[in-house]
Amino acid sequence: GQQLNQSPQSMFIQEGEDVSMNCTSSSIFNTWLWYKQEPGEGPVLLIALYKAGELTSNGRLTAQFGITRKDSFLNISASIPSDVGIYFCAGRGSGGSNYKLTFGKGTLLTVNP
């Protein structure tokens, strides 16, 4: 099946620093999604990317859909303590909008005040 490699596995940063994480795939995806999950909660959608090369921002978050369609990155600028959580990338291949997502293993972000 499709495999997603997400890195880094974890990050410990100081408040105010910028953060970057990425996902790479062994196969092509048509959609890349980035989610954030806090303890005991379901994932919350942060950014959705639908076209190769697309660069999308949501406040301090910026994500890009790689031109090869096999990778995506998420940047968080000027981190704050509430950014703490696990960030997951997810890719969806061909087969229509109801096709299943493949998730990365997550990046655990810790922000020290």
Residues that bind another protein (CB under 8 A): 31, 33, 35, 40-45, 48, 50, 88, 97-98, 100-101, 103-106
- Pick the closer one to another protein by CB: 16 or 53: 53
CB of 76 to another protein, least distance (A): 19
CB of 43 to another protein, least distance (A): 5
- Pick the closer one to another protein by CB: 31 or 64: 31
CB of 103 to another protein, least distance (A): 5
CB of 42 to another protein, least distance (A): 4
> What is the DSSP code string of the chain?
---EEEE-SEEEEETT--EEEEEEESS--SEEEEEEE-TTS--EEEEEE-STT-EEEETTEEEEE-TTSSEEEEEE-S--GGG-EEEEEEEE-SS-TTSPEEE---EEEEEE-
The closest alpha carbon to 28, from 6, 10, 4, 12, belongs to: 4
- Pick the closer one to another protein by CB: 60 or 105: 105
